[in-house]
């Protein structure tokens, strides 16, 4: 039971819930480290479902890009092993054996 003086004041604070943030646009092929940094930048946490090494790349995220979620929420990043970049670059570039065939007139 509350007793309030005539014309007294009561202040009521109503919580509005968590601050909402948008999940960033992390596309397939983005490296995992970059994706994790993008999430941290907006106050979200990353949970990997797959490899997280330096060559890991994003396959998908859940919830998806643009979804409004509570700040501090966890976004699941499904990853796969990416390329190691170990190619040798030994293509022949063509051999230039055309004959010209023009008459010069």
User: pLDDT at position 23, please?
Assistant: 98
Residues 6+ apart with CB under 8 A from 14: none
The model's pTM: 0.65
Its CATH architecture, for the domain 20-81, is 2-Layer Sandwich (3.30)
Are residues 30 and 58 in contact, defined by beta-carbon separation less than 8 angstroms? yes
User: pLDDT at position 42, please?
Assistant: 97
User: pLDDT at position 83, please?
Assistant: 82
35 phi, psi to nearest 5 deg: -60, -45
> Which of the residues in the chain have pLDDT under 70?
1-5, 15-16, 85-105
Are residues 42 and 24 in contact, defined by beta-carbon separation less than 8 angstroms? yes
If you write DSSP's letter for every residue of 1-14 in order, what string do you get? -----TT-------
């Amino acid at each position: 039971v509350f007793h309030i003086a005539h014309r007294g004041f009561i202040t009521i604070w109503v919580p509005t819930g968590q601050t909402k943030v948008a999940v960033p646009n992390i596309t397939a092929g983005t490296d995992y480290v970059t994706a994790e940094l993008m999430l941290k930048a907006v106050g979200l946490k990353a949970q990997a479902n797959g490899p997280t090494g330096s060559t890991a790349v994003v396959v998908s995220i859940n919830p998806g890009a643009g979804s409004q979620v509570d700040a501090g929420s966890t976004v699941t990043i499904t990853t796969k092993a990416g390329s190691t970049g170990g190619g040798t670059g030994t293509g022949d570039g063509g051999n230039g054996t055309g004959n010209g065939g023009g008459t010069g007139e």
